Structure 1
Amino acid sequence: MRKLSQGFTLIELLIVIGVLGILASGLLAAVDPFEQLKKARDANNRNASVETLNALTRYYATHGVLPWQSTVVTCITGGVGAVFDPLRVSESGYPHAVVKIANTTSTDYTAAVNGCITDSVLADGELKSAFFSGLSTTLYLGSGSNTTAIVCYAPEGKALRNDTVAVQWSINAAGNSVAVGCTTAQKDAGECLQCFE
């Protein structure tokens, strides 16, 4: 008497596993995990930019001035204060002068800028004390008048770099001013910024 066996043969199972492997590799190639990591970093950098802008806005609401126009000693005296002189000029047009806010391990770190922000915005509790150590990118801080601040960052992901609405500012080669508009060549060179006012 023959016994009927129910189930799949080894060859059938291998074929199914092979097809699933091909589908999985195709999906992985379509998703591009490195681009997903860049998008995640862009989201964190966007949050840091908005958090900085909101902190500056709250500081302005409390004190009636932005930190670089206040009486905070580290923001206005000596060589430290000179770093912020470009931000104290009212500009009716573009480009706007910017200073860089960065993590202490970054090549863009400037003790004068971070010191002013620490002694003003952080001292008021508008930003957490660990804010600078958590920055993974350089933020560009600008001001076009006595009452406004602009905070920008350079997006890493292709999707945001090519977004014509979100990325609309360009930074000059010296990294000390931003202007409205961004060409394709600037996008390809990574010179475009997403800014918040």
Structure 2
Amino acid sequence: MKMKFFELIAKMKTSKKTAGFTMIELLIVIAILGILAVAVLSAINPVEQINRGRDTGSRSDAEQLISAIDRYNAFQGYYPWQNGSSDDAYEVAWITDWDGDGIFMNNDSTCEVKDLLGAGNDISCVGSNELKVTFFSRIHGAGYNYLKVYHGPNASDSTYVCFEPKSDAFKTEAATRVTAPAVTPADYPPLAIGNTTDCGTGGNCVCLP
């Protein structure tokens, strides 16, 4: 009877030892979980994802603005910064930070381009309603990644709308477009290349089209 009692005690001790984890095992598991967490966060990179979302929004706005300018030109026969079809001054050198302070006027300084593309402001500046007021409120807002408009001196030149890329993915895209073997269009905005002041640390703006 006494022998069976001691055997039972021994079995209980053995079962206690095998039922749980040792401190070393727990530390190893915690270390592995920590490594996995770091790897997942590195892969996801939340800051990069936020910046990429912001850049995607800027691209969408740039596409809308270019489309509005092209529609205005197709309907009116001239660009919104020109003073009519007889005005041969096509060039928009580089409208930097088209916000509330960087006002974009037409060539004779009578109307803002945003009024001509939008709802207008009075009889002298009749709007085409190509873009809503909310669009301009958004792109003029504080903290917005401001759009930059460029058009070369020739009638055949394309209209470009550019912005400073914030995400690594868009910085790479901007660099790829202007780096050999890519062929940069002859009418491409010169200030969109190697310009850290307007295009950020990468030096190259994302330009559409």
Which aligned pairs between 1:93-112 and structure 2 lie closer than 5 A? 97-104=93-100, 109-112=101-104
User: What is the Cα deviation at residue 89 of structure 1?
Assistant: 4.7
Count of residues in correspondence between the two structures: 165
Q: Secondary structure at the match of 1:37?
A: helix
Structure 2 residue 48 is matched with structure 1 residue 35: yes
Q: Secondary structure at the match of 1:102?
A: coil
More RCO (CA 8 Å, sep 6+): 1
- Change over 3 Å in CA distance of 1:119–1:184 after alignment to 2: closer
Structure 2 residue 176 is matched with structure 1 residue 165: yes
User: What is the Cα deviation at residue 68 of structure 1?
Assistant: 0.8
User: What is the Cα deviation at residue 50 of structure 1?
Assistant: 1.1
Q: Contact 2:72–2:80 (CA<8 Å) still a contact in 1? A: yes
Q: Give 1:153's aligned amino acid.
A: F
**Please, what TM-score do these two structures have when normalized by structure 2?**
0.61
Q: Contact 2:98–2:104 (CA<8 Å) still a contact in 1? A: no
* Residues 141-195 of structure 1 deviation map (CA, whole Å, 9 limit, x = unaligned): 1112335421111111122213343466xxxxxxxx9318845989874431121
Q: Contact 1:101–1:138 (CA<8 Å) still a contact in 2? A: yes
User: What is the Cα deviation at residue 41 of structure 1?
Assistant: 1.1
- What is residue 117 of structure 2 aligned with on the other side? 121
- What is residue 192 of structure 1 aligned with on the other side? 204
For structure 2, the residue ranges without an aligned partner over 5 or more in a row are 1-7, 120-127, 180-187
Q: Give 1:117's aligned amino acid.
A: V
Write the distance in 2 (CA, Å) between the matches of 1:121 and 1:99.
Answer: 16
- Change over 3 Å in CA distance of 1:134–1:10 after alignment to 2: farther
Q: Secondary structure at the match of 2:36?
A: helix
Larger Rg: 2
- What is residue 155 of structure 1 aligned with on the other side? 165
User: What is the Cα deviation at residue 122 of structure 1?
Assistant: 0.9
User: What is the Cα deviation at residue 59 of structure 1?
Assistant: 0.8
Structure 2 residue 81 is matched with structure 1 residue 68: yes
Write the distance in 2 (CA, Å) between the matches of 1:137 and 1:18.
Answer: 41
* Residues 28-56 of structure 1 deviation map (CA, whole Å, 9 limit, x = unaligned): 02332112211111111111111110110
For structure 1, the residue ranges without an aligned partner over 5 or more in a row are 72-84, 91-95, 169-176
**Structure with the higher strand share, 1 or 2:** 1
Identity between Structure 1 and Structure 2 (%): 29
Write the distance in 2 (CA, Å) between the matches of 1:67 and 1:146.
Answer: 13
* Residues 114-152 of structure 1 deviation map (CA, whole Å, 9 limit, x = unaligned): 962222111322112111222211211111233542111
Q: Secondary structure at the match of 1:155?
A: coil
Q: Give 1:69's aligned amino acid.
A: Q
Q: Give 2:89's aligned amino acid.
A: R
Q: Give 1:130's aligned amino acid.
A: T
After the TM superposition, which of the residue ranges 46-55 and 118-127 deviates more from structure 2? 118-127
Structure 2 residue 142 is matched with structure 1 residue 142: no
- Change over 3 Å in CA distance of 1:60–1:89 after alignment to 2: closer
- Change over 3 Å in CA distance of 1:33–1:143 after alignment to 2: same
Q: Secondary structure at the match of 1:68?
A: coil
